[in-house]
């Protein structure tokens, strides 16, 4: 008798998916995968009460493009299905995924387990051994998620190539440096590592990319002379011109444990695209692409 499949997902680039969860497991113990007919996303769960937990500083949300990730089918009657799971267990199942390997995940109608297969090139999915994760019971009262935080990605404050970010941060180790401060101001970012005995430090500086974004204009630097503007000379096409004027952002200073900052360097493992930084009110948002199919947003706060 053939089992009814509630949903199934073939991930063509299994390697980048594995590296993503290698990074995610460093920040939190548990997470949620959210499956709907038209989307798949991941939300990190951060304990509210444990102020000593390193995940207090970092949270992650990832959206997957189902038109690019591989082959996805969803046949459940429910509008969405949430899988609350332990990251360490899931990472253990896919840890040996290599370049060109695929990952196959599915759920059957008569079981709540999520079955997982790592498929090597040339292998048939039906002949590959299967592992599974058993979803945990949700504990909403003890956790908060950051899925509703700002997803406006139009104008980054700082853009860094993953190669530069990895190389620049390679000399910062938890053994030699006790803490990291990140200072953000007017399109520039300074990362400062302070040694255990305060005798020395390591400074990394980044500035905004040289490309000017016409959609974002600092109002404090504009000098308009309206006397020289002849409004009668504008034709009807002027109505399509859109000007977005923003106020200058406040300076932002964050402090992180060195071990937490080193986990951020793993963002460079699963993307060849530039890493984008956004300086918000009280936190930094980092946007990283996962292969060609995922958008990871990382939020850092004190």
Looking at residues 81-94, what average pLDDT do you find?
Answer: 93
Residue linked to tokens 């959206």: 63
Question: Looking at the predicted structure, is the pLDDT value of residue 260 above 90?
Answer: no
pTM for this structure? 0.81
Give which of 145, 189, 115 is closest to 44, Cα–Cα.
Answer: 145
DSSP state of 295: E
Model confidence at 248: pLDDT above 70: no
pLDDT band at 44 (very low <50, low <70, confident <90, very high): confident
Q: Which domain holds residue 265?
A: 158-301
Q: Are 88 and 167 contained in the same domain? A: no
* Same structural domain, 176 and 274: yes
Confidence bin at 244 (pLDDT 50/70/90) = low
Asked if 110 and 18 sit in the same domain, the reply is: yes
Q: Is the pLDDT assigned to residue 209 strictly greater than 60? A: no
pLDDT for residue 282 is more than 90:
no
Confidence of residue 134 (pLDDT cuts 50, 70, 90): very high
Q: Where are the alpha helices (DSSP H) in 235-299?
A: 258-264
Task: Indicate if the pLDDT at residue 114 is higher than 90.
Answer: yes
Q: Is residue 150 part of a domain?
A: no
- Last residue within a domain, chosen from 112, 144, 176: 144
Rg for the chain, CA atoms, rounded:
23
* pLDDT bucket at 148, cuts 50 / 70 / 90: low
Report for 19-28, 143-152, 172-181, 219-228: range of highest mean pLDDT: 19-28
Render pLDDT for 48-72 as a digit per residue (tens, 0 to 9): 554 444 434 688 999 999 999 999 9
Close Cβ partners of 39 (under 8 Å, ≥ 6 residues apart): 63, 64, 66
At residue 222 the predicted structure's pLDDT band, cuts being 50, 70 and 90, is: very low
Phi, psi for residue 14 in degrees, rounded to 5: -65, -30
Q: Residues 8-18: pLDDT tens digits?
A: 999 999 999 99
Same domain, 176 and 225: yes
CB 287 within 8 A of CB 154: no
Q: What is the largest CA-CA distance in the chain?
A: 81
Q: Which of 168-177, 216-225, 268-277 has the highest mean pLDDT?
A: 268-277
How many Cβ atoms are within 10 Å of 242's Cβ, its own excluded?
Answer: 7
Claim to verify: residue 229 and residue 127 sit in the same structural domain: no
Tell me the C-alpha distance between 195 and 202, whole Å: 8
Banded model confidence at residue 33, pLDDT cuts 50, 70, 90: very high
Greater confidence (71 vs 45) lies with: 71
151 or 169, higher pLDDT: 169
Strand partners, 42: 33, 62
172 and 297 housed in the same domain? yes
In a domain, 152, yes or no: no
| Residue closest to 169 by CA, chosen among 274, 261, 297, 55 | 261
Indicate whether 267 belongs to any domain: yes
| Confidence (pLDDT) at 64 | 97
Residue 178, pLDDT > 90, answer no
Residue 96 has pLDDT above 60, yes or no: yes
Task: Measure the CA dihedral 160/164/165/169, to 10°.
Answer: -150
Residues 22 and 95 in one domain: yes
- Return the pLDDT at 146: 59
Tell whether 197 and 257 lie within a shared domain: yes
Question: Three-state SS string across 108-138, please?
Answer: ECCCCCEEEEEECCCCCHHHCCCEEECCCCC
Q: Residue 194 in contact with residue 179, Cβ under 8 Å?
A: yes
| Residue among 43, 70, 103 at smallest CA distance from 292 | 70
DSSP string, 180-227: EEEEEETTEEEEEEEETTSS-EEEEEEE--SS--TT-EEGGG----GG
Cβ proximity of 90 and 105 under 8 Å: no
Q: Is residue 257 part of a domain?
A: yes
Q: How many domains does the chain have?
A: 2
Same domain? 234 vs 166: yes
Q: How high does pLDDT run on average in the chain?
A: 82
User: In terms of domains, do 291 and 188 share one?
Assistant: yes
Structural domain ending residue among the three candidates 80, 111, 144? 144
| Cross-sheet strand order for the sheet of 294-301 | 81-86, 30-36, 39-44, 58-64, 294-301, 283-290, 275-279, 158-160
Q: Is residue 75 part of a domain?
A: yes
In terms of domains, do 123 and 163 share one? no
CATH number of the domain encompassing residue 79: 3.10.150.10
Please report how the helices 87-94 and 14-24 are oriented relative to each other, as an axis angle in degrees rounded to 10: 150
Residue found by looking up tokens 């951020």 in the block: 264
Residue 224: what pLDDT? 47
Residue 143 has pLDDT above 70, yes or no: no
Do residue 187 and residue 282 come from a single domain?
Answer: yes
Let me know if residue 99 belongs to a domain: yes
Is 213 among the domain residues?
Answer: yes
Residue 153, domain member (yes or no): no
Distance (Å) of CA 54 to CA 25, 96, 146, 184, 210: 12, 26, 16, 21, 35
């Amino acid at each position: 008798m053939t089992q009814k499949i509630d949903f199934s997902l073939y991930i063509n680039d299994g390697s980048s998916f594995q590296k993503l969860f290698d990074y995610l497991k460093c920040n939190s113990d548990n997470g949620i995968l959210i499956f709907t007919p038209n989307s798949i996303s991941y939300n990190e769960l951060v304990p509210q009460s444990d102020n000593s937990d390193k995940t207090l500083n970092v949270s992650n949300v990832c959206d997957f493009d189902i038109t690019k990730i591989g082959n996805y089918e969803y046949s459940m009657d429910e509008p969405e299905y949430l899988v609350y799971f332990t990251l360490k267990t899931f990472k253990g199942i896919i840890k040996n995924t290599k370049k060109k390997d695929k990952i196959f995940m599915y759920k059957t109608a008569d079981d709540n387990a999520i079955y997982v297969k790592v498929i090597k090139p040339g292998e048939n999915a039906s002949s590959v051994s299967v592992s599974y994760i058993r979803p945990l019971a949700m504990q909403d009262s003890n956790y908060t998620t950051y899925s509703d935080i700002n997803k406006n990605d139009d104008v980054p404050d700082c853009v860094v190539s993953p190669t530069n970010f990895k190389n620049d941060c390679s000399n910062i180790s938890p053994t030699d440096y006790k803490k990291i401060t990140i200072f953000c101001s007017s399109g520039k970012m300074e990362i400062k590592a302070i040694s255990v005995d305060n005798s020395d430090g390591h400074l990394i500086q980044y500035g905004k990319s040289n490309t000017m974004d016409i959609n974002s204009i600092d109002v404090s630097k504009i000098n308009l002379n309206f006397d020289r503007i002849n409004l009668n000379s504008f034709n009807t096409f002027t109505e399509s011109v859109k000007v977005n004027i923003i106020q200058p952002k406040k300076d932002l200073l964050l402090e992180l444990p060195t071990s937490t900052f080193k986990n951020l360097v793993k963002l460079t493992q699963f993307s060849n695209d530039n890493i984008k930084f956004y300086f918000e009110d009280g936190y930094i948002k980092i946007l990283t692409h996962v292969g060609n199919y995922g958008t990871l947003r990382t939020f850092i706060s004190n």
